[in-house]
Structure 1
C-alpha cells in the first residue's frame, strides 16, 4: 500500500542571490517521511502554477511551513509598515484559501510558525508585527549567531489548556520548545482556539474549533529533531495518522469553488 502524500508549502528564495527557486527545508521533509510516515512533496506556492482545488486533489494533507516572509497585513485589514518585514504575496494567495478549503472539507493540515499565523489570518484573525516590542514580552526571534543546534535550542515553556487537545496529545500540560519568530497572534480568528501560551502570554498552539479534520498549528518549529523530540514526535505522528485516515476514505467531500 502506497504512502499518502503531504504537500509541503514551499517558499520563494533567490539561490546564490540571483536564481529564483521554490524551496523547503530538509527537516520538514524528514519529519513528514520519517515520523508522519507520508510522502513529502514540496509545493510551489504560486497561483500561476497551481490552484487550491488541484492541490487538494493531489495531496492528502498539507504542511504549512515556516518562512522568512510574513503574511501581508492587507490580508487582515492593516496597512503595511517597515515592522511587518518581507512578504510573499504568491504564498498568501495559495496558503490562506487552502486553509479555509481544508477546514470546510475536513482535509488535514499542520501549521508551523508562519503556517500558524496563516491559519489564524485565514480564519479572520490579526497579527502583531513584532512581539518583542510589546510590554512584558520576550524576544522570540531566532538568535542571529551560532550553530543550528544553538538556534533551535529549547528556550521557553509552553503551557496548554488543562484537558485540552494539545494536553491530551502531548500527555503533559507544560512542554519545552524552541522559538524563532518575530510576529504573533494579536486577535484570534473565528473558531480559532488558543490552546497553549508561552511564559509571556504569547499564543503558541491553536486549532480550529468544530473542524472535521486535523487543524493543529504551533508557533514553534517542531520539525527540528522531530524523530527524537518528545514534543515534536507525537505532533507529527498524530498528523500522519490523520492524513492516512483521510487517504483511506472511499470518497472525499466535494470542494466548493475557492
Structure 2
C-alpha cells in the first residue's frame, strides 16, 4: 500500500542573487519520511502555481515549516516596520487559506516556528515583530555562532497546560525545547488555544479550537532530529497517526 502524502510548505530562496528557487529543509523531509512513515512532497509557496483546492485533494496532511520571512503585518492589522521584515507575501497567500481549509475539512496539520505564527494569524492572532524587545522577555533568536548542533540545542523549558492536549501528548507538564525565532504571538485569536509558554511568557504551543482533527503548532523547531528527541518524536508520531487514520470532518 502506498504511503500517504504529506505536503511540506517550501520557502523562496535566491541562489547567486538572481536564481529563484523553492526549497524545504532536509530535517522536515526526514521527519516526514522516517517518523511519519509518509511520502514527503515539497509544496512551493507559489499560489499562482498551486491551488489550495488541488493540494487538499493530493495531500493527507501538511507541515507548515519555519522560514526567515515573516507573516506580513497587514494580515493582522499592524503597520509594517523594518523589524517585521523580511516578507514573503506569496507564502502568506498560500498558507493562511490552506490552514483554514484543512481545519474545515479535517486534514491533519502541524505548524513549526513560522508555521506556528501562521496558525495564529489565520485565526485572528497578532504578532510582535521582536519578542526580545518586550519587557522581561528573553532572546529567542538563533545563537549567531556555533555549530548546527549548538544552534538547535535545547535552550529553555515550556510549561504546558496540565491535562491539555500537549501535556497528554508528551506525558508531562514541562518539556525542553530549542529556540530560533524573533517574532511571537501576542494576542491570540478566538479559536487559538495557547497551551504552552516559555518562562518569560512567550507562547510556544497552540491548537485550533473546534478542529475535528490534528491542528497543532509549536514555536520551536521540532523537526530537528525528530526521530531522536523524545518530545519531537511524540509530536510527529501523533501527527502521523492522524494522517494514517484518514479521518475527515464528515466522518467524525
Task: Give the TM-score taking structure 1 as reference length.
Answer: 0.95
Residue matched to 2:184: 184
Residue matched to 1:21: 21
- Whole-Å Cα distance in 1 between the matches of residues 249 and 10 of structure 2? 25
For structure 2, the residue ranges without an aligned partner over 5 or more in a row are none
- Whole-Å Cα distance in 1 between the matches of residues 185 and 177 of structure 2? 18
Residue matched to 2:130: 130
Residue matched to 2:47: 47
- Whole-Å Cα distance in 1 between the matches of residues 35 and 244 of structure 2? 13
Quote how far apart the aligned CAs of 1:37 are.
1.0
- Whole-Å Cα distance in 2 between the matches of residues 214 and 241 of structure 1? 9
Residue matched to 1:256: none
CA contact (8 A) 2:213 2:249 kept: no
Structure 1: 4+ residue segments shifted above 3 A: none
1:161-176 superposed matches below 5 A: 161-176=161-176
Quote how far apart the aligned CAs of 1:146 are.
1.1
- Whole-Å Cα distance in 1 between the matches of residues 70 and 222 of structure 2? 19
For structure 1, the residue ranges without an aligned partner over 5 or more in a row are 254-258
- Whole-Å Cα distance in 2 between the matches of residues 33 and 16 of structure 1? 30
Matched, 1:76 2:68: no
Cα deviation, 1:181-221, whole Å, max 9, x if unaligned, reads 00000110121100000010100000011110100100000
Residue matched to 1:2: 2
Deviates more, 1:105-114 or 1:9-18: 9-18
- Whole-Å Cα distance in 1 between the matches of residues 112 and 28 of structure 2? 10
Quote how far apart the aligned CAs of 1:36 are.
1.0
- Whole-Å Cα distance in 1 between the matches of residues 158 and 199 of structure 2? 7
- Whole-Å Cα distance in 1 between the matches of residues 17 and 142 of structure 2? 22
Q: Secondary structure at the match of 2:20?
A: strand
Quote how far apart the aligned CAs of 1:18 are.
2.3
Quote how far apart the aligned CAs of 1:252 are.
7.7
Cα deviation, 1:32-73, whole Å, max 9, x if unaligned, reads 110011111000111110111111011110000000000000
Quote how far apart the aligned CAs of 1:16 are.
2.8
Q: Secondary structure at the match of 1:231?
A: helix
- Count the aligned residue pairs: 251
Cα deviation, 1:71-104, whole Å, max 9, x if unaligned, reads 0001101111011020000000000001111111
- Whole-Å Cα distance in 1 between the matches of residues 74 and 184 of structure 2? 16
Task: Give the TM-score taking structure 2 as reference length.
Answer: 0.97
Cα RMSD between the aligned structures? 1.3
- Whole-Å Cα distance in 2 between the matches of residues 252 and 21 of structure 1? 35
Cα deviation, 1:154-205, whole Å, max 9, x if unaligned, reads 0000010001000000001101000000000011012110000001010000
